[in-house]
Structure 1
Amino acid sequence: MLNELNALESKVSQVVALCRSLRSENERLREQLSVAERDRNSLAERMAAATARLERLAGQLPEGKS
């Protein structure tokens, strides 16, 4: 009986340690996701600005003769 309780205590300790590890990893992944989302938003804004500039420049080009 004592051996079974010790084994159960060991397994519970392993589960608790795994839970802590997974929580830590989840927090790290949330932070990485947040950074990636900010980067993506920044890049999308830069792409939109570049597209607008190119469209303005293309509008200033003289028409070609046919």
Structure 2
Amino acid sequence: MESQLNSLDIKLRQMLELCQSLRAENQKLRQQLAVANDHNKQLSERVIYARTRMESLLSKIPGAEL
């Protein structure tokens, strides 16, 4: 009976360690996702700016059509 309790205790501790590890990894992944989303937003804004600027420059060329 005692050996079964010890075995259960060991398994429970392993499960708790795994849970803590997964929580830490999840938090790290959430932070990485937030950074990636911010970077993506910045790149999208740069693309919009570049497109607007290109359209403006093309409109100044005589005979150019969009």
Normalising by the residue count of structure 2, what TM-score does the alignment of the two structures yield? 0.95
| Aligned residue pair count | 64
Aligned-pair identity (%) = 42
Say whether 1:25 aligns with 2:21: no
Q: CA deviation at 1:63?
A: 1.0
Q: RMSD of aligned C-alpha atoms?
A: 0.9
Q: Who is 1:56 aligned against?
A: 56
* Amino acid of the structure 1 residue aligned with 2:25: E
The residue number in structure 1 matching 2:46 is 46
Task: Show the counterpart of 2:11.
Answer: 11
Distance 1:18 1:63 in 2: 67
Matched residues in 1 for 2:42 and 2:63: separation? Answer: 34
- Structure number with greater CO (CA < 8 Å, separation at least 6) is 2
Q: Secondary structure at the match of 1:41?
A: helix
